[in-house]
Chain A
Amino acid sequence: MNIFLRELRANLKSLIIWSIIIFLLIWIAMVKFSAYASNPEMLAILDSMPKTLMDAMNMHAFNLTTLSGFFGVMFIYFGLMGAIAAGMWGSNIIAKEERNKTIEFALSLPVSRARFVTAKALAALANSIAFVLITWIASLIAMQSYNPDGAVYRFLALEMMAMFAIELIFLSIGLLVACAMKRPKRTGSIVIGIILVLYYFSMISGLHEKLDFLKYLTPFKYFDAGTLLHQGGVAPVYWALSVVIILISLTGAYYAYNRRDMYI
């Protein structure tokens, strides 16, 4: 409990910064949306855009002049921000102890490495939950002036659930990278690298049939806003894949951290 609480306090600043970023993002987006809302001319402009661009940005699935359509496109940002925030929390919460050389103090206390990792993972999880809730609240506030109906609320709830799932996946991957790697200074950039590569996969997977298999490799495709909007959920295979990734990452993280030498 002591480690968990200390980490919550230590990470509060980071959570606040991320929350400000997501508030700004949503606010700027809503300023743009005010130009799109119920504006048929906008549809014509969008139709004239190159198809490949629309595919890459996954924009063909949405009608940008409606709230649901607009928040469908916004999900790209929610997913990416959730992934980066959670990935960084997951990796940093472990790696910083070695980077700042505090690990010698932390692990000379009567605490097992497993308990140490668990407490820290829970603190990162708490941050991730808070981040989704804040995104949710910010979105709800932002859409109020456009008279959202029940369908919009349900869709937003689905998106937030999907964002949380993406956070969980990248939180686990972040933990794995930090727990397994003995180079604490590089973990952050490696996690960001993984996220960007996977995100790139999700962009190109729709472009060509031969690249279609990529959709199984990148969590960004598991939780596709188009599917969420039109089918109201996520295919079971993607849930299964998500659970598998999380379990493997967490198991690997504990296994590696329990066995390796601390970098002092």
Chain B
Amino acid sequence: MNVIETSKLTKYYGKARGIIDISFQVEEGEVFGFIGPNGAGKSTSIRLLLSLIYPTGGSAKIFGKDVIKEGPEIRQDIGYLPSEIFYYERMKVIDLLKYSASFYKKDTTERMHELAEYMELDLNRRIEDLSYGNKKKVGIVQGLLHSPRLLLLDEPTLGLDPLMQRKFFSLIRQENARGVTVFFSSHILSEVQRLCSRVGIIKEGRIIEISDIRTLQQNNYKRIEVTVRDLPPDYFALPGVTNLEATNGGVRFFFKGDIDGIVARISALDLIDVTIEEPTLEEIFMHYYE
């Protein structure tokens, strides 16, 4: 079953581009990564899913229901962690969490305390006295306390120290193991790599690639670096070679295509050293953005 399903979702802010023709599906139980630089349209997409803003075109469904028409009902089962957290400043953490909990149909007290303890959150402080990272912790507890079936995470680790990030990731893994679907937006690839099974790459408002994280790494590109004694000019100016750059005594490039051919061509050289490896997601990503 598809938990999220968007079809040609488009949003313009006046004339300014938000997102254009975004279509994707996220299956139940999946951890879907949504990668792109700042301003690519990640937050816009998530806010459309929550119907905080309305699309200029296209539509989106969550749990098979239209996000606008059945928004309140859908949101019973969504946990949302925005990239920047703003809560009612004068409230105490505990009151804020209880307030949030009062909107859900189930009893959440036990889960709330469990999460707060796990995230080492002081419940008796006022929101306005909290540091950025501590507000984020409140956000995590608030987003998870009602045991949602879908988590929408928008740059969730922003402001968390590495220790808390690890705790957070393991929390998300536990949730996912219970069958919770996770939609994870980020511009930090390493964390997406750690967590997600599938990624969508968004650039300037459009999705330019959706694929399995493993295929993204494996099937296409090899990162090749050769060190040679004497390299003829333009020796690697071949189809399939990209990002060619000279190194100290050799070249480095990405290659996509017939691996046998390129290896033969490399072996014809007077080699000192050669490496052929999987590119990191970071490098693939940079490739898409060039």
- Which residues of A does B touch, CB under 8 Å? 2, 6, 10, 100-105, 107-112, 115, 259-262, 264
Q: Are A112 and B72 in contact (CB under 8 A)?
A: yes
Chain B residues near A (Cβ < 8 Å):
13, 47, 50, 52-54, 71-76, 78, 80, 82, 84-90, 99-100, 102-104, 142
Residues of the B chain whose Cβ atoms lie less than 8 Å from the Cβ of A10: 88, 90
With A2-B99, A103-B52, A261-B52 as contacts: A108 and B75 at CB distance below 8 Å: yes
Alpha-carbon gap, A102 to B139, bound state (A): 12
B104 & A110 in contact (Cβ 8 Å cutoff): yes
Task: Note all chain B residues with C-beta closer than 8 A to A261.
Answer: 13, 52-54
A107 to B78, CA, bound (A): 12
For A109, list chain B residues within 8 Å (CB): 75, 100, 103
Which of B71, B75, B103 has a CB less than 8 Å from the CB of A2?
Answer: B103
Query: A110 to chain B: which residues have CB within 8 Å?
Result: 72-76, 103-104
B52 near A102: Cβ-Cβ < 8 Å:
no
**Known A110-B73, A110-B75: A102·B54 in contact at CB below 8 Å:** no
Cα of A10 to Cα of B91 in the assembled complex, Å: 9
- Report the separation of the CA atoms of residues A109 and B77 in the bound assembly, to the nearest whole angstrom: 10
Please give, as numbers and ranges, the residues of chain A lying within 8 Å of B85 by CB-CB distance: 105
A112 touches B88 (CB 8 A): no
Interface pair B71/A105, CB less than 8 Å apart: no
- A10-B90, A110-B75 given as contacts; is B103 within 8 A of A104 (CB)? no
Q: How far is the CB of A239 from chain B (nearest CB, A)?
A: 36
Q: What's the nearest-Cβ distance from chain A to residue B223, in Å?
A: 40
Asked if A104 and B71 sit within 8 Å, CB to CB, the answer is no
8 Å CB contact of B87 from A105, A107, A262, A264 = A105
* Chain A residues in 8 Å Cβ range of B74: 110
Write the chain B residue with the least CB distance to A101.
B86
- A108–B76 contact, CB under 8 A? no
**Known contacts A104-B82, A261-B53, then 19 further A-B pairs from the complex at CB < 8 Å, ordered by chain A residue:** A2-B102, A6-B99, A100-B88, A102-B86, A102-B88, A105-B82, A105-B142, A107-B52, A108-B75, A108-B78, A109-B100, A112-B71, A112-B72, A259-B54, A261-B13, A262-B47, A262-B52, A262-B53, A264-B53
A6: chain B residues at CB < 8 Å are 88, 99
